[in-house]
Amino acid sequence: MNSRRLALAAALLVAAAVAPAALAGDEVRIGLAAPLTGDQAYIGQCVLHGAEMAVEDANVKGPVFGSTRIRLVPLDDQHNPTQAVLAANKFVADPDVVAVVGHFNSSCTKAASTIYHESRMAQVTPGSTNPEISRQGFDTFFRVCPTDDVQAPAAADFVRSKLGIKRIAILDDQTTYGKGLADAFEKRYRSLGGEVTQRDGITQGEKDFTPLLTKIRSGKPELVYFGGIYPELALILKQAAKVGLVTRWMGGDGVAEPTLITLAGPKLAEGVYVTRLGLDPHTVPTAKDFASRYEARHGEIGPFSAYAYDAANVLIEAIRRAGSKDRQAVLAEVRKTRDLPGLLGPVNFDAQGDAIGKSIGIFQIQDGEFRFIEEARPAAGS
Amino acid sequence: MEGALDLFLQQLLNGLTIGMIYALIALGYTMVYGVIQLINFAHGEVFMAGAYLAMTALVFFGTLATPLPVWAVFAAVVLFSVVGSAALGAGIERVAYKPLRGSPKLTALITSIGMSFFLQNAVMLVYGAKEQSVPDIFPAGRLEAGPLSVSLLQGVIFAVSIGLMVLLTRFVRHTRTGKALRALAQDPDTARLMGVSVDSMIRLTFVLGSALAAVGGALFGMYYGSVNFHDGYLAGLKAFTAAVFGGIGSIPGAMIGGILLGIFEAMGAGYLSAEWKDVFAFVLLGAVLIFKPSGLLGENVPEKV
């Protein structure tokens, strides 16, 4: 009894001596900014969970350098550029934050990019696809997903050349993302000789689109292209059926969510075409394991969870190589990223910080599922 | 090519449908304002909670082994939503506004904004951030009347909304309690001297307003087929606009304001540009505030907020 107690006490002592040494190790922080509350909270949380898993995986392997471990510091930008700027300022003011994963919405990413640029802090967005952001010429900006300059023309080529459709209507949700996507689509589609019967916009968060759809019905388009995200498209599909608008539909990565089918119902979602930034994580060999681990913890995975994982890994590896908490050093290492093994293919950046070589997948909803139709490789030099 | 008249009528129906829902929500804004001069910004969230409760009940009825008739399900769903939201409305009043009675109006106004954020995020935590799908219970048939054709659910929305507005008007005009409510709105001190229980009347106002918003929420969820914890924000703002447009404090004003706002928006979106739909609504608000601050049917009272 006595000796057992002694052993216990000794063990406790050893533990007490060792534990602080393990805990006392320094930490380096990676910021994460995404819409964690507000109308886009769901996608924001997908991004957060993806990045969290990257940081956990890295910490399991041990300290990133010396005795330094990584901590992810999430901040909510509420899909609001003003909040995005506030979050960026908070990150910049914290000397332990060396780089940021984020933001998600193009409008937020663009607004915050100036602040990261001024503070020489690397920013890697997992999901902002608007091409204007990288055209600002900020050397602190990177993205792991392809841009709408790649996505929208691929969609337009498919509609005009593969489907042979001559008359379409184009809608967008008036966000930096949705409008950018629709503009790029319209430009390419018109250059291919297609006719656009109507070009109009909706407001995100609005629910009633029946007046607009009634108007579109009178133009008799063969297809309607929507630049926006899935909750609105689901409503549009339902209301189109109500006002008797029968046509085909196509959208970008923002609508390529299984929830679209749940919300609109498999019958109305049937036949909708979408482009996806890269392929379905379930079907990509390098992402399969991540997808099943993710789904065991958080439910359904989207492409942005995988891109968030990749974006966080770009930063983790850069910190590892830099071996310091110096923002400049980390930034320099991010720029040197070459063929980093990402879940959705190797990660490489061009001079503007845009992802190179990411392909676009064209999918169609068939029998309540997204079925892969073809892969569109980005045209060189765009 | 379809006729311009058909198109116009279709747009009118589109506008009337959402206008009815705006009107149901606007009644809650206007009644609360009439009684305690508070713009209750949490009211949009009560509407949203009503939609979520209806969705929950619909999902529950969908799992029953032996399906009940559509009308029974509809009545049960609306009742569940109304009872839940009325309790929520009374709870909000008890917790957030009653302790502030007698304090400056601005305090309660800011509290209502805080309450709105709280409720939004509470619903997000309970149901998750994702859009929820609302099961469809009505058969796809349409009601035809000459050139007009409305879906069954649209017909239900018209019937239920108009019925409730008539009932509310009769209640306020012709019952003893309704008289007490009007007395309280006119002059709280004198009403108290006449034996009107101010606290219970204020509670009743919140209960009635929340119940109407819940019906609106249930109809809204069924009509659009999905609910999101963020839905109360824009719908609440539009209904508030409708209440001001019709004359805040005036019950018929809120009804007319809501319906006209719905039609105005539909016509703007249908004939001008859908991109500007919200702009039309808020330009209307601005114009009313500039040219007729008391609204269409409102009384000319010196500013109170």
Q: Is residue A137 part of a domain?
A: yes
The answer to whether A31 touches A101, Cβ cutoff 8 Å, is: yes
User: Residues of chain B whose C-beta is under 8 A from some C-beta in A?
Assistant: 1-2, 7, 10-11, 14-15, 17-18, 121, 124, 128-131, 133, 136, 151, 220, 224-226, 228, 230-231, 233-235, 265-271, 273-275, 277-278
- Are residues A42 and A141 part of one domain? yes
- Are residues A76 and A103 part of one domain? yes
Range of the domain at A162: 149-277+361-376
Cis peptide before A298 (omega within 30 of 0): no
Task: List chain B pLDDT tens, one digit each, 305 residues.
Answer: 457 888 888 889 989 999 999 999 999 999 999 998 899 999 999 999 999 999 999 999 888 878 888 899 999 999 999 999 999 999 999 999 999 988 898 999 999 999 999 999 999 999 988 888 898 888 877 777 766 778 889 999 999 999 999 999 999 999 999 999 999 988 888 999 999 999 999 999 999 999 999 999 999 999 998 899 989 999 999 999 999 999 988 999 999 999 999 999 999 888 888 888 888 888 888 888 898 888 888 765 544 44
pLDDT of B144 reads: 75
Q: Closest Cα to residue A175, out of A106, A109, A83, A104?
A: A106
* Average pLDDT value for residue range A114-134: 94
Residues 6+ apart with CB under 8 A from A228: A171, A172, A173, A175, A177, A178, A202, A204, A251, A254, A255
Task: Catalogue the long-range contacts made by A57-65 (C-beta closer than 8 Å, 24 or more residues apart).
Answer: A58/A313, A58/A316, A63/A25, A64/A28, A64/A316, A64/A319, A64/A320, A65/A319, A65/A320, A65/A323, A65/A324
- Are residues A111 and A178 part of one domain? no
Q: Is residue B301 part of a domain?
A: no
- Are residues A368 and A223 part of one domain? yes
Question: Which of A149-153, A277-281, A283-287, B189-193 is least confident?
Answer: A277-281
- Are residues A94 and A225 part of one domain? no
- Are residues A124 and A80 part of one domain? yes
- Quote the minimal CA–CA distance from A47 to chain B in Å: 13
Range of the domain at B85: 10-133+146-291
Q: Is residue B5 part of a domain?
A: no
Q: Is residue B192 part of a domain?
A: yes
For residue A18, pLDDT beyond 60: no
CA distance B30 to B172: 13
The runs of H, that is alpha helices, within B37-151 are 43-62, 70-92, 105-127
Mean pLDDT of chain A: 89
Chain B residue numbers with beta carbons less than 8 Å from the beta carbon of A203 are 234, 275, 277-278
Domain of B151, CATH number, reads 1.10.3470.10
Q: Is residue B299 part of a domain?
A: no
pLDDT of A22 reads: 45
Q: Is residue B287 part of a domain?
A: yes
CA distance B16 to B33: 25
Q: Closest Cα to residue B131, out of A245, A220, A213, A232?
A: A232
Residue with tokens 């593969």: A162
**Which string of DSSP letters, residue by residue, matches A260-275?**
HHHHH-HHHHTT-EEE
- Mutate one of B5, B8, B9, B10 to test the A interface: name it (highest A CB count within 10 A): B10
CB neighbour class for B28 (10 Å; exposed up to 12, middle 13-18, buried from 19): buried
Alpha carbon distance, N-terminus to C-terminus of chain A: 77
- Are residues A128 and A84 part of one domain? yes
Q: Is residue B141 part of a domain?
A: no
Of A38, A201, A211, the CB nearest to B230: A38
Q: Is residue A9 part of a domain?
A: no
More confident residue, A39 or A380: A39
- Mutate one of A45, A207, A305 to test the B interface: name it (highest B CB count within 10 A): A207
Q: Is residue A29 part of a domain?
A: yes
The answer to whether A303 touches A344, Cβ cutoff 8 Å, is: yes
Contact B11 A44 (CB under 8 A): no
Task: Tally the domains of chain B.
Answer: 1
Q: Closest Cα to residue A312, out of A109, A122, A97, A101?
A: A101
- Are residues A75 and A46 part of one domain? yes
**Which string of DSSP letters, residue by residue, matches B136-162?**
P-S-S-EEEETTEEEEHHHHHHHHHHH
Contact A211 B17 (CB under 8 A): no
Q: Is residue B108 part of a domain?
A: yes
pLDDT of A205 reads: 79
- Are residues A77 and A173 part of one domain? no
- Are residues A86 and A52 part of one domain? yes
What ipTM describes this predicted complex? 0.76
pLDDT digits (tens, 9 = 90+) for A225-250: 999 999 999 999 999 988 889 999 99
pTM: 0.78
Q: Is residue B258 part of a domain?
A: yes
Task: Tally the domains of chain A.
Answer: 2
Domain of A218, CATH number, reads 3.40.50.2300
CA distance A172 to A293: 35
For residue A7, pLDDT beyond 80: no
